[in-house]
Amino acid sequence: MKHSISFLLLILSLASQNAFSNSSPLNSNSLSVNSEQETVKIFYRNDTFQIQGLTGIGTIQIYTIIGNEIERYNSESLENFKKSIRLESGNMYIVRVETKSIVKTYKLIAN
């Protein structure tokens, strides 16, 4: 239990200040990463999870807000990443993206 709480605190401390919600593809749900001047967009709609704005090969993990891993995609191309997954509408999730050079976390609200 102590490790679960520590892990959750680590995830939350690394998470972005913005929560992403995807009620419409026209909404601007993006985060500008100042150090690399890139825009990352995270979408979830119609049971499809998608990331735009990243390149290279990486691992993507999706966690519940309490730190339980619900999905992991290893050695995936991050360009036009798109996977079918079922997330509970209205719940918040933590998305962790790791490559050889970076680790980024994002909040996602499933609609």
Each residue of 31-65: pLDDT tens digit? 334 444 568 899 999 999 999 999 999 999 999 99
Q: Lowest-pLDDT range, 5-9, 23-27, 41-45, 60-64?
A: 23-27
Confidence of residue 1 (pLDDT cuts 50, 70, 90): low
pLDDT for res 111: 84
The predicted-structure confidence for 64-104, as pLDDT tens digits, reads as follows: 999 999 999 999 999 989 999 999 999 999 999 999 988 99
pLDDT for res 3: 53
Alpha-carbon gap, residue 69 to 22, rounded angstroms? 21
Alpha-carbon gap, residue 6 to 65, rounded angstroms? 13
Domain count, the chain: 1
Q: Report the pLDDT averaged over residues 2-26.
A: 48
Question: Domain holding 101: CATH number?
Answer: 2.60.40.1270
pLDDT for res 83: 96
| Domain membership of residue 52 as a residue range | 2-109
Q: What is the reported pTM?
A: 0.67
Q: Report the pLDDT averaged over residues 10-25.
A: 46
- The answer for residues whose C-beta is within 8 angstroms of residue 64's C-beta and 6 or more apart is 70, 91, 93, 94
